[in-house]
Chains A and B, each alone.
Chain A
């Protein structure tokens, strides 16, 4: 993993691939690499769909090795949704495969001179870029089936559906899972639209003939991996809760706390929560012959995913995760798990971000396009997006655009990106991260709960009034660093509670690369990433005014606790003071 694969789509006579050395990017991977390339090589004022934007697809530091949980892939560009820098990441098989092929990143550059659509095949022998207009208009599922017929089932695919082809701002990039289904998505920020603008429908990876990346110190690496896996298995979240119920296990708890946004962030509790909770979802999956404990890539030991069957026992979708169930469920007043799984399937097929689309349908419902709770109407609206009707084009460009077109005041977005499944009026600290993240409203930006181990930015007394700002800052730093490693963010729970598991993570990195990293180095990496991203956004025209929540979160009381977002603007402006 010591080279960059640059594919220039603008070249006269057809796209051209070239292999570049890492140069100044040496040592970077995952989000650190995608953000470094975008910050250095993309003009901040470029139109996101123009030839000047670049789409960077980068595995993590340990991807392609035998390290557990190391299969996350980062996708970076200037976002068509936010207008700022973007890193969206995903599970699936592609990260491991691309890393084994030796590439630290694929960088799609330029823009085709014609309207052809391309597929790219990469294996140990090189890169083949083929115009293939027969792929036009295919959903991700049919597309992957077609690639499977052509290349066999030992491949991994990176693709876009119809939404990406239509360059919609809610379009995702899909990654195939272990069953070769396009169920894992770099969802946020419209990264699929940028891939569509590059004219690339699918990248097929085949690592046949390649072996796992070898560590510098195999014995230490093996021992560290064993300790790391033991730590994950020992912890009640990564060893029990997530495998049993998946991420949607949070639904009941957040609902009880009054922070489960319902009916487009009108209330903090959803009456139908028990019908769509993780507990009910897991029970339904098992009863129908599906799977409630499943990994999204080889080497996953947490297994927070699953397989959802319809009433007749046929595959419908992967287990819809917490954010998806909330977005298409409570946020739209829908308490029908089968309808939510169908919406998840359609999002995956069309290549759409489930959070953005759930929030968008919620805004559309508030505008009167459908009644809250009407699952059939929600499915119809998503189908409009897939077909690319005029209404679908509006919806497919996200909640902010939809709110503007239909005159809705209550639009839950920051920097144009929809808020995820936690109401910031009930959980104020999450509101700080939503407001100030470089990515727009993003729950994962401050997800890694490692701050008290890393002591990033100094230890914070949780009882101090100003604790929320410092905690959000520390969490964003820690998250940026973990995103660079390519490790699943869910490892953070075990790392938080078990210092020896955090040490095992450092040992994995050190034994693999022959380094002597400490917690301070990890902190420095996180700060470096955020600094690059903030600088890009500043050059793209962002000011402190973009680091704010929508006004209604300060004005409207959220039942049942009747709270509003109380963190001052002055405090929000302190988040990145380090």
Chain B
């Protein structure tokens, strides 16, 4: 889809639910973010305050290994004691010890695979456009629900759309019958 620049946030709800990326796995979490995803070290260190790997808060991003099928969630600084508890390597991380991520398996082999990425709060507007431009796989039903939630905004904000290489009228997207369970979505801006 090609959209007006101001329309990109329309797609952010998909990012908090999670999208699939094909990538090389079997590396550390830091390597995945920095080298595979191209996120700057400064952003990883300072902006991403909380990271979950398979639902477990991570404290050591160099030790945490990303395996095929992993679920990764990124968040900026969170409020409250709970925000402080979930923070990577934070003073209060002790208060969540039973659910913290601990790397105790064998080092995984580097291979092609896929990961699910969830972007929460400020990481969504800050990293979302990057992933949307490169292309993400999302649940077809979620995409259809999104299109149906604001059809008039979609017509206004979407300049061009193509499905499987064929140009389609953006107005038709809310009723489009995606045959697969997942849709590969690429967003470009004019």
Which A residues are within 8 Å of any B CB, using their own CB?
Answer: 235-238, 240-242, 244-245, 247, 249-250, 252-254, 256-259, 269, 274, 277-280, 283, 287, 304, 422, 425-430, 443, 446-449, 452, 462-464, 467-468, 471-472, 475, 490, 493, 496, 560-561, 563, 566
Give the CA-CA distance A274 to B93 in the complex, in Å: 25
Shortest CB-to-CB span from A144 to chain B, Å, is 29
Q: Report whether A471 and B95 are in contact in the complex, using a CB–CB cutoff of 8 Å.
A: yes
Task: Please pick, from B77, B80, B92, B118, the residue contacting A247 in the complex, using a CB distance under 8 A.
Answer: B80
Task: Please pick, from B77, B81, B84, B86, the residue contacting A241 in the complex, using a CB distance under 8 A.
Answer: B77
Number of cross-chain contacts by CB at 8 Å: 156
Shortest CB-to-CB span from A260 to chain B, Å, is 10
Which A residues are CB-close (under 8 A) to B55?
Answer: 256-258, 269, 560-561
**Contacts A256-B55, A560-B55, A561-B98 hold; do A236 and B16 have CB atoms under 8 A apart?**
no
Give the CA-CA distance A247 to B80 in the complex, in Å: 8
Q: Report whether B96 and A426 are in contact in the complex, using a CB–CB cutoff of 8 Å.
A: yes
Which B residues are CB-close (under 8 A) to A452?
Answer: 91
Q: Report whether A240 and B76 are in contact in the complex, using a CB–CB cutoff of 8 Å.
A: yes
Which B residues are CB-close (under 8 A) to A448?
Answer: 81
Give the CA-CA distance A244 to B76 in the complex, in Å: 12
B16, B57, B93, B120: which has the most chain A beta carbons within 10 Å?
Answer: B120
Give the CA-CA distance A426 to B52 in the complex, in Å: 14
Q: Report whether B92 and A429 are in contact in the complex, using a CB–CB cutoff of 8 Å.
A: yes
Instruction: Please report which residues of chain B, range 46-82, place their CB below 8 angstroms from some CB of chain A when the two chains form the complex.
Output: 47, 49-50, 52, 55-57, 73, 75-82
Shortest CB-to-CB span from B86 to chain A, Å, is 6
Which B residues are CB-close (under 8 A) to A279?
Answer: 12-13, 16, 120-121, 124
Shortest CB-to-CB span from A290 to chain B, Å, is 15
Shortest CB-to-CB span from A392 to chain B, Å, is 32
Q: List 8 A-B contacts (CB under 8 A).
A: A254-B86, A269-B55, A429-B95, A449-B80, A452-B91, A463-B94, A561-B98, A563-B98
With both beta carbons as reference points, the residue of chain A lying nearest to B142 in the complex is identified as: A274
Q: Report whether B83 and A252 are in contact in the complex, using a CB–CB cutoff of 8 Å.
A: no
**Contacts A279-B16, A447-B81 hold; do A462 and B121 have CB atoms under 8 A apart?**
no
Which B residues are CB-close (under 8 A) to A447?
Answer: 80-81
With both beta carbons as reference points, the residue of chain B lying nearest to A426 in the complex is identified as: B99
A241, A257, A283, A425: which has the most chain B beta carbons within 10 Å?
Answer: A257
Shortest CB-to-CB span from A549 to chain B, Å, is 15
**Contacts A462-B92, A560-B55, A561-B99 hold; do A256 and B118 have CB atoms under 8 A apart?**
yes
Give the CA-CA distance A221 to B95 in the complex, in Å: 37
Task: Please pick, from A241, A427, A468, the residue contacting B78 in the complex, using a CB distance under 8 A.
Answer: A241
With both beta carbons as reference points, the residue of chain B lying nearest to A246 in the complex is identified as: B79
Which A residues are CB-close (under 8 A) to B85?
Answer: 427, 429-430
Chain A contact residues, majority secondary structure: helix
Which A residues are CB-close (under 8 A) to B57?
Answer: 257
Q: Report whether A256 and B79 are in contact in the complex, using a CB–CB cutoff of 8 Å.
A: no
Which B residues are CB-close (under 8 A) to A560?
Answer: 55
Which B residues are CB-close (under 8 A) to A241?
Answer: 76-79, 121-122
Cβ of B109 within 8 Å of any chain A Cβ, yes or no, is no
Q: Report whether B95 and A253 are in contact in the complex, using a CB–CB cutoff of 8 Å.
A: no
Q: Report whether A563 and B76 are in contact in the complex, using a CB–CB cutoff of 8 Å.
A: no
Give the CA-CA distance A560 to B91 in the complex, in Å: 25
With both beta carbons as reference points, the residue of chain A lying nearest to B150 in the complex is identified as: A287
Give the CA-CA distance A225 to B83 in the complex, in Å: 26
Task: Please pick, from A235, A245, A250, A471, the residue contacting B80 in the complex, using a CB distance under 8 A.
Answer: A250
Give the CA-CA distance A269 to B82 in the complex, in Å: 16
Task: Please pick, from B49, B91, B97, B98, the residue contacting A236 in the complex, using a CB distance under 8 A.
Answer: B49
Which B residues are CB-close (under 8 A) to A472?
Answer: 95
Which B residues are CB-close (under 8 A) to A475?
Answer: 81
Q: Report whether A563 and B99 are in contact in the complex, using a CB–CB cutoff of 8 Å.
A: yes
Give the CA-CA distance A244 to B17 in the complex, in Å: 19
Q: Report whether A446 and B99 are in contact in the complex, using a CB–CB cutoff of 8 Å.
A: no
Q: Report whether A493 and B94 are in contact in the complex, using a CB–CB cutoff of 8 Å.
A: no
Task: Please pick, from A253, A422, A463, the residue contacting B75 in the complex, using a CB distance under 8 A.
Answer: A253
Q: Report whether A244 and B121 are in contact in the complex, using a CB–CB cutoff of 8 Å.
A: yes
Shortest CB-to-CB span from A442 to chain B, Å, is 12
Q: Report whether B78 and A428 are in contact in the complex, using a CB–CB cutoff of 8 Å.
A: no
Give the CA-CA distance A257 to B153 in the complex, in Å: 34
Task: Please pick, from A236, A425, A471, the residue contacting B94 in the complex, using a CB distance under 8 A.
Answer: A471
Which B residues are CB-close (under 8 A) to A277?
Answer: 16, 120
B79, B84, B93: which has the most chain A beta carbons within 10 Å?
Answer: B79
